[in-house]
A = this chain, B = another copy of it.
Amino acid sequence: MIKVSVMYPNTPGARFDHTYYANQHMPLVKRKMGDFCLSYTVDKGLAGGTPGAPATYIGMCHVFCDSVESFQAGFGPHAQQIMGDIPNYTDLSPIVQISEVVVG
């Protein structure tokens, strides 16, 4: 299984609507990807690792798929619509990473 992590840097002054992200955007991703998206999680950054330090990422999601090919098959056809929804909740550009789920 693989995980696609989408991580939004916690840039001072940036806009990020956590409610829209969790209640509108991620359900849209799941609806468009269908069974290619096995599940997903959503995080809201609270703090960094040392006292008083800010979170590195203001928000993250992790999309779980059987394989990279499975992600591409589910996301690719809807990429334009899904990416087009991003300005509805943020003006940030995310960092994207694909990982192998070693312990799930």
Q: A residues near B, CB below 8 A?
A: 2-3, 5, 7, 18, 22, 26, 40-50, 55-57, 60-61, 68, 94-104
State whether A99 touches B26 (Cβ < 8 A): no
A and B contact pairs by CB, cutoff 8 A, 28 listed = A3-B43, A5-B60, A18-B102, A22-B102, A41-B103, A41-B104, A42-B101, A43-B99, A43-B100, A43-B102, A44-B99, A44-B102, A45-B97, A45-B99, A46-B68, A46-B98, A46-B99, A47-B68, A48-B98, A49-B94, A49-B96, A49-B98, A55-B97, A55-B99, A56-B95, A56-B97, A57-B97, A60-B99
Residues of chain B within 8 A (CB-CB) of A7 are 56
6 more contacts with CB within 8 A, not counting A42-B102, A57-B97, are: A5-B43, A42-B101, A42-B103, A45-B99, A49-B94, A55-B98
Q: What 3 A-B pairs come out closest when comparing CB atoms?
A: A49-B96, A43-B99, A42-B103
Say which residue of B47, B99, B100 sits within 8 Å of A98 (CB atoms): B47
